[in-house]
Structure 1
Amino acid sequence: MNIKSFNENIEYSDNRVDTKIILETSFSKEIRVLLKNGQTMKEHKAPYPIIVHILEGEIDFGIGDEIKLLQTGDIITLESNVYHDLTAKKNSIVRLTLSKLDDVSRVKKVADNS
């Protein structure tokens, strides 16, 4: 058993989207993404299915030409290789669930290049 918190040490950066691995299990990697109001993660895709859960805040979640407003508590799943982007409408804490096979450094690169 392993207990971690997505709500510890919340510090929004003015300069970049912040990502941090919170927990790694035998089947997934749980990543915290902090987006300050107005910050964007540019369009990207994941090589495996993902789950995006809005723990706090509001995100415009773009998929192709469609934008979905995701709010606190909302959760969305995407199959692999689906292009998407995120724009914070409020300071937001996002839980990103990756496949164990996915590489966390890929997420950091997307955040750093946004």
Structure 2
Amino acid sequence: MKVASLVNGLQYHESRPTIQVLMETETSKEIRIAFKEGHVMKEHKTPFPIVVEIFEGAIDFGVNGVLHKLVKGDLVALEGGVPHDLKALETSTVRLSLNKADSAKRVKDVAKNS
């Protein structure tokens, strides 16, 4: 059994989203992304399918240039190769579920370069 928390140890970077790997299982990586209002993750793609959960707050989630306002409790699933971007409309916590073969470093690099 593995246990992690989406709320304990939550930290925010001043100028970009904070990425933290919460746990790895045999099939996935669970990542917490902490956004301050206005933080963005520029358009990017993932090589594998992902699931995004808005745990707290509100996010403009762009998919192929179309904005979708996601709020607390919303889930979205994307296939690999789909261009998407995120902008925090308020302070927000997002849970990202990655395929085990995907890289948490890739996600950190997207946040760092946004």
Residue 7 of structure 1 corresponds to 7
Which 5+ residue runs of structure 2 have no aligned equivalent?
Answer: none
Q: How many Å separate the matches in 1 of 2:10 and 2:27? A: 26
1:65 Cα deviation (Å)?
2.4
What does residue range 1-114 of structure 1 map to in structure 2 within 5 Å? 1-114=1-114
Q: Secondary structure at the match of 1:6?
A: coil
Which 5+ residue runs of structure 1 have no aligned equivalent?
Answer: none
Q: How many Å separate the matches in 2 of 1:20 and 1:62? A: 22
Q: Secondary structure at the match of 1:55?
A: strand
Q: Secondary structure at the match of 2:107?
A: helix
TM-score (norm 2): 0.98
TM-score (norm 1): 0.98
1:9 Cα deviation (Å)?
1.4
Give CA deviations for 1:10-60 in whole Å, capped at 9, x if unaligned. Answer: 222212210000010000000000111001000000000000000000000
Q: How many Å separate the matches in 2 of 1:12 and 1:105? A: 18
Give CA deviations for 1:80-104 in whole Å, capped at 9, x if unaligned. Answer: 0000000000100000000001011
Residue identity (%): 46
Q: Secondary structure at the match of 1:107?
A: helix
What is the RMSD of the two structures over their aligned residues, measured on CA atoms? 0.7
Instruction: Please identify runs of 4+ aligned residues in structure 1 that moved more than 3 A.
Output: none
Deviates more, 1:8-17 or 1:96-105: 8-17
Q: How many Å separate the matches in 2 of 1:20 and 1:51? A: 16
Q: Secondary structure at the match of 2:111?
A: helix
Tell me the matched-pair count: 114
1:3 Cα deviation (Å)?
1.1
